[in-house]
Amino acid sequence: MSIVDIPIEDAGALQAGRSGVRREVFRELLRSPTFIVGAIVLAIWIICAIFGPVLAPHSPYAQNLEGINKAPSSGHLFGTDQLGRDMLSRVIVGSRDILIIAPLATLLGTVLGTVIGLLMGYFRGFVDDVLGRFVEAFLAIPLIVAGMIALSTLGRSNLVIIIVIGLLFTPLIARTVRAAVLLERELDYVAAARLRGERAPYIMFVEILPNVFAPIMVEFTVRLAYAIFAVLTLTYLGLGVQPPSPDWAVDIQANYGVVPAGYWWEVLFDALAIATLVVSISLISDSVQKALEG
């Protein structure tokens, strides 16, 4: 059967089939306990990020030098830090920066990585070889080390973190997209589009892109957890969000010195907050992967 023989209705059926698959994936997700747990925990942190200042019992900045390093009590459920600030309030409000920075950085990396991956996978040959070498060389520098160098030379604003993490993720995402495109480009519909005389950008972005959307989605959720990992680690190293902003990693870095004195609550709740956030995203990405792979 050649292309012209395919009745127009079948093309419609294909379209319907695709959105049907999406509904099926969504239903599958709602049946998965892992996804539900992950989504609830993430939702709680998103609510904290948006309404934090309203929800927090105290101001996260308000110092009380007469009540420093107080253990958790009914007045301060998570205790107070070295400046007498309420740790519970700082943990609640601390979710905001990371939930803005990490998704934007991941989005930047995903968009750039998808474009480069499409180019590499579609054109192969010279473009693929040259870009591939660069990707390889870049991957030899551990992400945290590269981020450290970039942030210590470029300065430490949130915008710089987003751009740096986004750019560092680009080659990783490009590699995944390239692999998916290599499989797709051999399929009949791509050959058909080429025979119709469509131009390369059209084939890449209109024909191939929707079909490699699933791996890109999976990659996005996986990378999001890593973006949080990377941003918080760099912040912990003193290269990210700066004090006195309430931020989990900033607090851990600032209060780490007093832990040996027994003031564990000044770092432990921040650590648990980070752990629950990244684990919730891992659970979501794990179940999205399961649902898409069927």
Partner 1 sequence: MVRFILKRLGLALITLWLLSVIVFLLGQVLPADPGRSVLGPLAAPSAVRALDHQLGVDKPVLTQYWNWISNFPGTSYQYQAPIGPILTSALGRSLKLGIFALIILVPLGIIGGVVSALNAGKPIDRTIGIIGQSMLTVPEFVSGIVLIVVFAVELGWLPVTATAPPGSGFFTQLKYLILPVIPLVMVLFGYISRMARVGTIEALDSDYARTATLKGLPRGVVVRRHALRNSLLPTITVIATQTGYLIGGLVVVEVLFRYNGIGELTFNASTQHDIPMLEACVLTIGALYMLVTLVADIGYSLLNPRIRLKAAE
Q: Rounded to whole angstroms, how far apart are CA atoms 262 and 24? A: 51
Taking the complex as a whole, the smallest distance from the CB of residue 260 to partner 1 amounts, in Å, to: 6
**Residues at the interface with partner 1 (CB under 8 A):** 34, 133-134, 136-146, 148-150, 152-154, 225-226, 228-229, 232-233, 236-238, 249, 252, 256, 259-260, 262, 264, 267-268, 271-272, 274-275, 278-279, 281-283, 285-286
Taking the complex as a whole, the smallest distance from the CB of residue 200 to partner 1 amounts, in Å, to: 27
In the bound state with partner 1, the residue whose beta carbon lies nearer, of 148 and 291, is 148
In the bound state with partner 1, the residue whose beta carbon lies nearer, of 181 and 239, is 239
Taking the complex as a whole, the smallest distance from the CB of residue 94 to partner 1 amounts, in Å, to: 13
Q: Rounded to whole angstroms, how far apart are CA atoms 248 and 275? A: 11
**Cβ neighbour number for residue 167 with a 10 Å cutoff:** 18
Taking the complex as a whole, the smallest distance from the CB of residue 51 to partner 1 amounts, in Å, to: 25
In the bound state with partner 1, the residue whose beta carbon lies nearer, of 62 and 272, is 272
Q: Rounded to whole angstroms, how far apart are CA atoms 237 and 156? A: 12
Would you call the peptide bond into 201 cis, given omega within 30 degrees of 0 as the criterion? no
The pair of three-digit structure tokens given for residue 118, joined into one six-digit string: 């499409």
Name which of 218, 251, 259, 231 is nearest 88 in CA terms. 251
- Tell me, what amino acid is at 282? S
Taking the complex as a whole, the smallest distance from the CB of residue 183 to partner 1 amounts, in Å, to: 18
In the bound state with partner 1, the residue whose beta carbon lies nearer, of 123 and 229, is 229
In the bound state with partner 1, the residue whose beta carbon lies nearer, of 46 and 192, is 46
In the bound state with partner 1, the residue whose beta carbon lies nearer, of 29 and 143, is 143
Q: Dihedral through CA 121, CA 125, CA 130, CA 131, nearest 10? A: 0
Taking the complex as a whole, the smallest distance from the CB of residue 153 to partner 1 amounts, in Å, to: 4
Instruction: Look at the alpha carbons of 62, 64, 67, 70 in this order and tell me if their dihedral is positive or negative.
Output: positive
In the bound state with partner 1, the residue whose beta carbon lies nearer, of 40 and 154, is 154
Taking the complex as a whole, the smallest distance from the CB of residue 236 to partner 1 amounts, in Å, to: 5
